[in-house]
Chains A and B, each alone.
Chain A
Amino acid sequence: MEMNGSTTRGTAPPTAHAGRRVLRFNAALTLALLLLIAVLGNVLAARHLGQRVDLSADQLNAISDATRRVVDRVEDRLTVRLFANQTVSDGRLALRAARVRAQLDEILRLRPEVFDFQTLDPSRSSEARRQAREARLQPDRAGRSGLGQTGEEEVWLGLMLGYRGRTEVISTPEPWRFEVQVASAMHALLSDRKIGIGWIGEPFEVAPDSETAALERWESTFRVIRNALSRRARLAQVPGLATGNSVPDDVDVIFMVRPGPMHEREVYAIDQFVQRGGRLVVCLDDPDYNLAYPRADVAPEEFEGSPLAALLRSWGIRVAAKHVWDDTWRTDRVTLTSVGGQLRQGVLSDPLVITVPPEGLATELPPTRGLPGVAFSWAHPLFPEESTPTPAGVTRTDLAWSSESAYVTDVSPRLTMDPRELRVLRAALRNGTGRRHTLAAVFNGLFPSPWAGKEAPAPLDPLGLGRAADEPAPTSAVTPSQVVVFGDADWLRDPLPEGTFVQAGGGVLAVNLVDWLTLDEDLIGLRSRAPRLRPLRDFVGEQEAALGLFEEDVFPTEAERIEASRKGDLARRRARRQQWLTMLAPAALALLVLALFGALWNGLARRRAEPGGDAR
């Protein structure tokens, strides 16, 4: 041993050499065994220990209750066929497959008795390749990166689910949304039939030969929402209501989007659809007041006297012709103004385009739960329940509303072209008292029909065929239903290509509404599984508001420009100071805690070291 320094390596007796060798060998063996145990333990843990707890508020890393409910509804054997390569050379694609597989295993473990799981490798089996091709799966192509391997490899990853003779294919499984993909596919397999959606009012897109086609840059279409709804349901226009047709039985929900003048018979058909239990979504948007809609053909007074307004009034629904002006939840948008024949671009903080945040949405109702926000443009407020009471048997729940400091105002379309006028109006409005205005509401219950006890209105009869003899009598308040009313239709529109409009959450809200109204809340639960936005405090915005800076004026005078610039600089300086204070204060506090701890520790150590102190 070297401990006393008298024995050296060269003079050690043979037994000591042997002892050291044995010791080294034992140490190396122990380490190797431990390493092996560690590797095996990790492999086993990764494969068989699926227990985990998701403590995060968003709960995005655990199987959701919605998925569990969907899986619980499976009654027969559900075949899950995974098309994947057994070995993948590309590390990135291999990890993607591993993550998808891990999540799939987690879902299959929920009810292993109902799943019939198969793994097929199309890169090795021609039969598997044929099945993958039949399911319209396409392989990814990746370069081989292994030693001695060159060229490309086909990497397959796809899923086919089969249930009661029907199949659903997930052609591109993505680890970040795989659970939603699988649960949605299962949900589609478990549904008896596709939901039917009827569309009344605005066409999905502008006809190419119409005079407004030239304005298409400014006037967005409904293509995006049409595509979103079409993926979820059968979507079709509902024609012929004015001529006596009723809404087809396979229509579950009607979207009435910015309806124009309607014949009384058309309105009657919609009333009877609701009386049968059909669900109705009405998006009223007075075109006379909408800049993006120069084809105004309905005056406010005309609308108030229309059959549709009368029907809605009988259900306790009234939408004001004025617009909601909300400085708190206003939206920044790009404006293009013609000055001397040239377009000038500016940024306008528009209080008529309101991006309603989650606190302006009913979180207790599934359609709006989890939405990051919805943008409304030139929205009309719904009359409050106090002034327009709902009839007996009908209840009202507000779905979306403005901030507490919003106003209603008459504005002219010209206004958006002149930010200074906007500012004058804003100043004038500030002198009044702001309040919360309802932008959308849900009505539930037994809706009374205005035609109860009367004869159904006569249909349009251009051919003079006369009324059908076997026409049923109007029904009223027989089957409970739901009507959702919005004081705006722009939330459904596509984003404009020029970026002059900001859309948020509209598409998801529309699809959520369909699922909710047709009692498919599971899908809403799945869709709402998105990380919640957690924005930071906007110090600059707060300081700008405190200094009275509201928007960037596109026509400032020199004095205004200098003043705005000075205030802007001041706001930014103050905001920066606030930022530094927010960052440094906790760090300083942590250092102070450390210093106090050090002082205490060393003080105690010194006391212990003093004669008579605790020397332990």
Chain B
Amino acid sequence: MSVQPRPFAGVLPFARRELRSAFESPVAYVAIGLFVLVLPALFFFLGYPVGRTPLPGLWEGGQASLIVLFHWLPLLLALVVPALSMGAWAEERRAGTEELLLTYPVRTGAVVLGKFLATWILTMLMVGLAVLSAAVTVGFLGDLDWNTVSAGLVGAAWLCAGYASIALFLSAVSSEQLVAFLLGALVLGLLWALPLLVRVLPGGAAGALEAASPTTHFLGSAARGVLDLSDLVYFVLLTALGLVANTLAVERRRWR
């Protein structure tokens, strides 16, 4: 009789392994450093010129608020998260370590969860540093509402979780890193762009698409300082969907 491994056994060691490999190469530092510089720069100088009501940059708007910065997050993360996660499975496959990984006496789900945790922590570190550095600047310049910043960070954590699980799934079904990145950026970019289609779609479809977009669930509440249970349910389900799909994709290969 074979002994079934415990459901979550191996999650943390796999997460540690992923984080170790990320932090031992300069790529993660360069990515985080760039993000810490680019996101506030867009917020300070460019504003958010997307959609029907473009938002001014910090200096032009003259208000102590991070709402413009939060508007950039869904779009930038749609590009950055696939970049951080593209190698999670594709690189394992290229280096030939995937087979070895799958022979460990742990469930596939635990490996997937470990990789997801690592990507999530990495993304959150990046977002946290960028948002907090901008918040410190704005807090020095005016009366910043730190509660809204905190809620925005919580919402960003949910958003990162959803994005990371989808990007990891796409990495699992891609043969190469570049394909994984392009596919991830395309899918997350489409999810980000759904609210932009509202004007050209009929009412029912517009409502459904808006409800399906992570951008709406983030910008509609958490970015404004509101934590909504229905948004949490949305992101939990999105993340779960990505993780299960990822597990099934890896399982499929394990038994191929």
Contact = CB atoms under 8 A, between A and B. Distances in A.
B86 interface: no
- Residue from A2, A27, A534, A601 having most chain B Cβ neighbours under 10 A: A534
A598 B125 CA distance: 12
B186 interface: no
B226 A53 contact: yes
Interface stretch (B57-65, B70-78, B111-119): B57-65
Interface in A49-71: 49-58, 60-62
Interface stretch (A83-91, A187-195, A214-222, A485-493): A83-91
Contacts of A19: 255
A197 to B, nearest CB: 35
A583 B137 contact: yes
A536 interface: yes
Contact of A35 (B147, B207, B241): B241
A388 to B, nearest CB: 36
Interface residues on A, range: 35 or more
B98 to A, nearest CB: 10
A55 B241 CA distance: 29
Interface string A535-553: 1110000000000000000
Q: Is the interface of B mostly helix, strand, loop or mixed?
A: helix
Given A34-B240, A91-B200, A536-B62, A56 B233 contact: no
Interface string A558-595: 00000000000000000000010011011101110111
A94 B64 CA distance: 33
Contacts, number: 192
B20 A605 contact: yes
B255 A62 contact: no
B203 A31 contact: no
Contacts of B44: 583
A2 B238 CA distance: 32
Report the contact-size class of chain B (Cβ under 8 Å from the partner): 35 or more
B248 A602 contact: no
Interface in B25-61: 29, 32-33, 36-37, 40, 44, 58-59
Contact of A534 (B63, B147, B151): B63
B33 A49 contact: no
Contacts of B36: 587, 590-591, 594
Contacts of A35: 241
A534 B234 contact: no
Interface string B201-221: 111111100111000000001
A37 B148 contact: no
B198 interface: yes
A88 B198 CA distance: 12
Given A34-B241, A55-B147, A534-B142, A145 B201 contact: yes
B252 A46 contact: no
Main secondary structure of the interface of A (DSSP, over half): helix
B133 A590 contact: yes
14 contacts: A31-B244, A45-B234, A52-B229, A55-B151, A91-B200, A95-B198, A98-B207, A144-B202, A145-B200, A536-B63, A586-B134, A586-B137, A587-B133, A591-B36
Q: Which 5 A-B pairs have the closest CB atoms?
A: A56-B225, A91-B206, A94-B203, A45-B233, A146-B202
Interface of A: 1-3, 19-20, 23-24, 27, 30-31, 34-35, 37-38, 41-43, 45-46, 49-58, 60-62, 87-95, 98, 144-147, 149, 533-537, 579, 582-583, 585-587, 589-591, 593-595, 598, 601-602, 605
Interface of B: 20, 23-24, 29, 32-33, 36-37, 40, 44, 58-59, 62-65, 99, 129-130, 132-134, 136-138, 140-145, 147-148, 150-151, 197-207, 210-212, 221, 224-230, 233-234, 237-238, 240-241, 244-245, 248-249, 251-252, 255-256
Given A31-B244, A92-B206, A594-B33, 10 more contacts: A27-B252, A56-B147, A95-B198, A534-B65, A536-B58, A536-B63, A585-B137, A586-B137, A589-B136, A598-B23
